[in-house]
Structure 1
Amino acid sequence: MNARMPTLFFGHGSPMNAIEDNPWSKGWRAIGQGIPKPKAILSISAHWYVPTTAVTANAHPKTIHDFGGFPPELFAMQYPAPGDAELVERTQDILRPLDVAADHAWGLDHGTWSVLCHVYPNADIPVVQLSIDSSQPPAFHYALGRQLRPLRDEGILIMGSGDVVHNLHSYAWGRHPVAPFDWAARFEALCKQMMEEGDHTALTHYEALGRDAELSIPTPEHYLPLLYILGASHEDEAPSYPVEGMDGGSISMLTVQYG
């Protein structure tokens, strides 16, 4: 019998974190060294946001460089983790009656590989991505996380990758450090408080959380992966935050771990 795997939401921030040695990449490496090695990984990334629910069914998923304007060494990065046909089939089964398509065109986007290249640098653990259906409301995504929860007892690491606060319009693009904007810091603190109180309903209906939420989540795709992780958590599990920080004043690098 497999030990229950933790479930984690990673604030992935800039793709440059894949090739930089900074507090966030160091923290991700420490997570990989501190948790049990999973049988496989199911990743929900902000960067596969499409109007359907699908899983990557490639035997050898490609490394997608879904960004522009970065140095050549970042585009040279490869994360050759294998796919996992068994996990594809199990995910499709566990999410029934929802029809989950087997997708052979997508691969591993930077929301997944820019983190995993530090957590599991050998790329020797199979990885499957689950898309985020852009046509569905937040409660749908939380409910899918709930359905996926049994995978944790089957040796599967369920990871979400996005940012609790993600406002590129306010991001300080210069190289000098910038203090977090007050609204960004307040919203991140509110999210942590609600997670600690187990108030997943309020976090799911984040549109009602006021102006700080509007500024922190101008578009939903980077926030929604958190809802999968909240759904996959157990009621007796308290959240911990193995990685924290705010990049450019308006990108939360918060990692949330249950279990």
Structure 2
Amino acid sequence: MPTLFVGHGSPMNAIEENQFVEEWKHIGSRIPEPKAILAVSAHWYTKDTRIMTEETASTIYDMYGFPKELYEIVYNAKGAPHFARLAKSMISADVVEDNSWGYDHGTWSVLHRMYPEADIPVFQLSVDRNATVEQHYKIGQELSGLREQGVLIFGSGNVVHNLSRVNWEMEGGYSWAEEFDDYIIENILARRDEAVLDYEKAGSSAQLAFPILDHFAPLLYVLGAAKEEDEITVFNKACVLGSLSMTGYLFES
């Protein structure tokens, strides 16, 4: 299976039709059908690494002030206990089984467009707020073998995510947002993973790109799970509302 990072942006992408959603749909129809999906969402941000292991999970509406239509979406994919416990065994760090969460909007807003029938089992892995960039990347490396088991490793976040600087009247991105996004693209395509991990080398743009790692970290899991021989596709290259990047990455063997 490939490994995939999606810039999920606004939850409204779950119900609106736009260029970003069209690309998600295209990827869902083009790549091999997964046996299961391991989702690493920016919105399950915990004090340690946690994993869902139950047969079912609820749809979580972890966003406020949106239209009623958004809260009526139920993404009722089954869980994947077998693959979840396999994933747990592959990670050298301590991992806590935790079924108190569910499919948050970082996961379901994208999968609702990629796999609207919700007929592929899904399990989530949390982002440890105390982990370093190297530790996030290492977990991705350790999970890479799931790809050969038919599991799609799917990270959902945003390379640039600074809500304090969002400009609702702006269609594109601030120059610093574009600069940081370009820095990440350039180094991923050049297979300089160490430069992505050391993102502060991007300069002043890195200080504005995100206040915390929650939305950037899912990319590190996907990057860690990628292989040297993978073909890399950059899609949805765009910044919106000034300070959000929608850029995504697909790594295919």
Return the TM-score normalized by structure 2: 0.97
- From 37, 60, 78, the equivalent of 1:41 is 37
- For the 8 Å contact 1:7–1:159, the answer to whether it is kept is yes
- From 225, 236, 242, the equivalent of 1:249 is 242
Structure 1 equivalent of residue 86 of structure 2: 90
The Cα RMSD (Å) is 1.1
* Letter of the structure 2 residue corresponding to residue 251 of structure 1: L
Q: Please state if 1:236 is matched with 2:229.
A: yes
Shift of 1:57: 1.9
Structure 2 equivalent of residue 212 of structure 1: 205
Which whole-Å CA distance do the structure 2 matches of 1:76 and 1:154 have between them?
33
Structure 2 equivalent of residue 102 of structure 1: 97
Structure 1 equivalent of residue 147 of structure 2: 152
Does the residue aligned with 1:130 lie in a helix, a strand or coil? strand
Q: Which runs of 5+ in 2 are unaligned?
A: none
Structure 2 equivalent of residue 113 of structure 1: 108
Structure 2 equivalent of residue 64 of structure 1: 60
- For the 8 Å contact 1:187–1:213, the answer to whether it is kept is yes
Which whole-Å CA distance do the structure 2 matches of 1:245 and 1:81 have between them?
30
Q: Percent identity?
A: 43
- For the 8 Å contact 1:61–1:80, the answer to whether it is kept is yes
**Alignment of structure 1 residues 192-211 onto 2, 5 Å:** 192-211=185-204
Which whole-Å CA distance do the structure 2 matches of 1:78 and 1:247 have between them?
27
- For the 8 Å contact 2:53–2:85, the answer to whether it is kept is no
Which whole-Å CA distance do the structure 1 matches of 2:48 and 2:172 have between them?
38
- For the 8 Å contact 1:88–1:102, the answer to whether it is kept is no
Shift of 1:76: 1.1
Further displaced range: 49-58 or 113-122: 49-58
Which whole-Å CA distance do the structure 2 matches of 1:197 and 1:238 have between them?
12
Which whole-Å CA distance do the structure 2 matches of 1:189 and 1:173 have between them?
22
- From 158, 162, 180, the equivalent of 1:163 is 158
Shift of 1:208: 3.8
Does the residue aligned with 1:194 lie in a helix, a strand or coil? helix
- For the 8 Å contact 1:8–1:159, the answer to whether it is kept is yes
Q: Please state if 1:223 is matched with 2:219.
A: no
Instruction: Point out 4+ residue stretches in structure 1 off by more than 6 angstroms.
Output: none
- Aligned pair count reads 252
Q: Please state if 1:258 is matched with 2:248.
A: no
| C-alpha distance after superposition, 1:25-72 (max 9, x if no partner) | 111001101100000000100001111111112321100000101111
